[in-house]
Amino acid sequence: MTRDQELAWAAGFFDGEGSTFTSVRTKGRRMILLMGLCQRPYGGALVEEFHRIVGVGSVAYGKLITQWRVGGYKDVSSTINLLRPYLHEIKLLQAELAFERYLAYDGPRNESILTINKLLKVP
């Protein structure tokens, strides 16, 4: 497969099985931006292939699921941008809403606002 074909496959897999979301950790009330997807154990090879293609995050192997997850503004935004040309508009909207929620949160985050502003090129 060419790199474009790999990215198109990964985006389609994420369209069907993945999600972009925020989570507030109860300890310290810190918000984190996340992307994830999971499969039953027999789909572990697909999760591993997705991980290889996007190049970030980690794969966890459980008794009932195999899961890929990446957290943090920098890695989530780079993964969305990598897959963007191939993602369905609904997945892009889901990501946009997660980013908006993350940036609007007035409690502590896992990344500093200075880092976020630098990534967004805000003066």
Give me the residue spans of the domains in the chain.
3-120
| Segment 31-90, tens digit of pLDDT | 889 999 999 988 899 999 999 999 999 999 998 999 999 999 999 999 999 999 999 999
Q: Under CATH, what is the fold of the domain 3-120?
A: Endonuclease I-creI (3.10.28)
Distance CA 70, CA 20 (A): 10
Average pLDDT score, the chain: 87
Contacts of 119 (CB under 8 A, 6+ apart): 73, 74, 77
Residue 116 has a pLDDT of: 47
Residue 121 has a pLDDT of: 52
Instruction: Tell me the pLDDT band of 25, cut-offs 50, 70 and 90.
Output: confident
